[in-house]
């Protein structure tokens, strides 16, 4: 049996927002009340958008011995795909957000949370460490989304690793108050905005701020030390907004590569370290780096990497068995590693080699380019797979960007076509679905 949930004294702050704070005792009481009213069987597709309600539902589902199913996104297609794989499942979500009846209907296909969460006194909440509490699905960017089961015990170990890697950002003995811009259903969001408050003394903002103004307001509601859990896309938007933020203990970022220039600019503007997390739905976080200064990643304690021609095998204390990732790495003498890209990202045209990640980095480095991406098209004439690119800029047209790229990219890798667009079709975590990128090319200029 695992330790009581949530960790920490009953009176300790668990969550906060503009209306005030919620204690750990009240959170536990709301979990008990919801758990008592859930369906007797089946697993739950947890669709709650409010982070606090997600946490209440997450724990209630786990306490009932059921599993949180976390789809890669909240589209109808993704949800139905998950439910087809788990026919006994039901959906649970924010009633007010979905416009559903506020009365819990245990037999219903959808269980809405009531507007006012009830409370129920009782014994401390317990979830066995061997119990599977969540199944996260990969994004599907390289194929069909695949399920990955996580036990409470594995989350305990990985959360302890994350805390050890981040604890130097705040004073010894202090507990951070977390503001997260990533959805709680994403594994990175689960690790740093769900498990961190559940399994440590950290507190978390109840909502999911998205725009720079929202993020700044949420941070203003937090007490020091403040930890911002975000993505490169949100970080860039914050910098471009020119907004001032309350003092931060640190910023953590993941879900997409963070450029060294962007990391350094964020550290200078916000007066704190930016630490980039490396992981996946399959592995959870297993390495960190301070991107503004370091190209190499530092492994969490006990993690081992085995480079292979087709990827990297990851072994870690929180993994039941080794996991093969598509990432290609080079392990250095001190145990740190450098990412060399993915097998699918490596390009070879006319006997010359490059990587899509490096080409995209060069596109984003062009002064005046606000966002952009390089990708490879399917085979064209003669079997050659051309490189394409889309970018966002308020000052540069295609000719200007193409000319800037000529100075740093071999001509065989210059993108053809190259399109300026109003906005890139990034999803909730900043990733770019391939189908959406291809559609942009067909839409022409904007």
Q: What is the pLDDT of residues 70-101, one digit of tens each?
A: 998 777 888 888 998 999 899 999 854 443 44
CA distance linking residue 10 with residue 26, whole number of Å: 8
Over residues 54-73, the pLDDT tens digits come to 999 999 999 999 999 999 87
d(CA 281, CA 137): 7
Q: Can you give the pLDDT at residue 257? A: 84
Q: Going by C-beta distance under 8 Å and a sequence separation of 6 or more, which residues neighbour residue 336?
A: 296, 297, 298, 299
For position 435, what pLDDT does the model report? 78
- For residue 269 the two structure tokens come to 């503007």
Please choose, from the candidates 54, 65, 35, the residue with its C-alpha nearest in 3D space to the C-alpha of residue 197: 54
Alpha carbon distances (Å) from 297 to 176, 263, 340: 23, 15, 12
Helical H segments across 9-94, by residue range:
24-35, 51-63, 76-85
Query: Which domains can be identified in the chain, with CATH numbers?
Result: 13-294 (3.40.50.12780), 350-443 (3.30.300.30)
Q: Which of 180-184, 279-283, 321-325, 435-439 has the lowest mean pLDDT?
A: 435-439
Give the pLDDT mean for 26-37.
Answer: 97
Rounded to the nearest angstrom, the gap between the alpha carbon of residue 210 and the centroid of all alpha carbons in its chain is 13
| DSSP-based three-state secondary structure for 70 | strand
What are φ and ψ of residue 267, in 5° steps?
-65, -40
Pairwise CA distance, residues 341 & 328, whole Å: 5
Q: 165-209 pLDDT, tens per residue?
A: 999 999 999 999 999 999 999 999 999 999 999 999 999 999 989
Average pLDDT, the chain: 89
Q: Is residue 1 packed enough to be buried (19+ CB in 10 Å), middle (13-18) or exposed (0-12)?
A: exposed
Instruction: Tell whether the model's pLDDT for residue 443 goes beyond 70.
Output: no
Q: Per residue in 132-154, pLDDT tens?
A: 999 999 865 555 678 999 999 99
E strand or H helix that includes residue 98: helix 95-98
Region 208-217: what's the mean pLDDT?
94
CA 41, 47, 198, 257 torsion-angle sign: positive
Per-residue confidence (pLDDT) for residue 9, from 0 to 100: 93
Contact 84, 64 (CB under 8 A): no
- Confirm if 80 and 34 have CB atoms less than 8 A apart: no
Tell me the CA end-to-end span of the chain in Å, nearest whole number. 57
pLDDT digits (tens, 9 = 90+) for 376-404: 887 654 455 788 999 999 999 999 999 99
Q: Which of 48-62, 185-199, 341-355, 359-373 has the lowest mean pLDDT?
A: 341-355
Whole-angstrom Cα distance, residue 37 to residue 204?
Answer: 25
């Amino acid at each position: 049996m695992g330790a009581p949930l949530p960790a920490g004294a009953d009176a300790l702050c668990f969550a906060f927002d503009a209306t005030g704070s919620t204690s750990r005792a009240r959170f536990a009481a709301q979990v008990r009340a919801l758990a008592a009213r859930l369906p007797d069987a089946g697993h739950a597709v947890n669709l709650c958008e409010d982070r606090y309600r997600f946490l209440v539902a997450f724990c209630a589902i786990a306490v009932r011995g059921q599993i949180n199913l976390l789809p890669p996104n909240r589209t109808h297609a993704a949800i139905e795909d998950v439910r087809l794989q788990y026919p006994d499942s039901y959906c649970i979500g924010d009633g007010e957000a979905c416009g559903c009846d506020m009365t819990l209907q245990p037999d219903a296909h959808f269980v809405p949370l009531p507007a006012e969460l009830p409370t129920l006194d009782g014994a401390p909440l317990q979830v066995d460490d061997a119990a599977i509490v969540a199944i996260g699905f990969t994004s599907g960017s390289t194929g069909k989304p695949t399920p990955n089961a996580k036990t409470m015990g594995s989350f305990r170990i990985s959360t302890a690793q994350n805390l050890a890697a981040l604890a130097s950002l705040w004073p010894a003995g202090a507990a951070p108050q977390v503001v997260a811009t990533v959805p709680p259903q994403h594994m990175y969001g689960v690790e740093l905005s769900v498990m961190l408050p559940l399994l440590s003394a950290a507190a978390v903002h109840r909502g999911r701020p998205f725009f720079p103004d929202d993020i700044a307001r949420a941070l203003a509601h937090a007490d020091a030390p403040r930890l911002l859990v975000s993505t490169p896309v949100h970080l860039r938007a914050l910098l471009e907004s020119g907004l001032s933020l309350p003092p931060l203990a640190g910023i953590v970022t993941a879900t997409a590569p963070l450029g060294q220039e962007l990391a350094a600019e964020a550290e200078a503007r916000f007066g704190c370290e930016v630490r980039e997390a490396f992981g996946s739905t399959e592995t959870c976080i297993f390495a960190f780096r301070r991107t503004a200064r370091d190209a190499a990643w530092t492994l969490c304690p006990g993690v081992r990497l085995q480079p292979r021609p087709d990827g990297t095998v990851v072994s870690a204390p929180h993994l039941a068995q080794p996991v093969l990732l598509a990432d290609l790495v080079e392990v250095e003498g001190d145990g740190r590693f450098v990412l060399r890209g993915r097998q699918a990202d490596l390009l070879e045209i006319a006997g010359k080699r490059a990587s899509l990640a490096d080409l995209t980095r060069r596109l984003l480095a062009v002064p005046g380019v606000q966002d952009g991406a390089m990708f490879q098209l399917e085979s064209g004439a003669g079997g050659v797979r051309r490189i394409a690119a889309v970018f966002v800029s308020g000052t540069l047209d295609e000719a200007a960007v193409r000319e800037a790229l000529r100075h740093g990219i071999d001509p065989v890798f210059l993108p053809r076509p190259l399109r300026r667009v109003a906005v890139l079709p990034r999803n909730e975590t900043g990733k770019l679905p391939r189908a959406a990128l291809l559609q942009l090319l067909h839409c022409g200029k904007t």
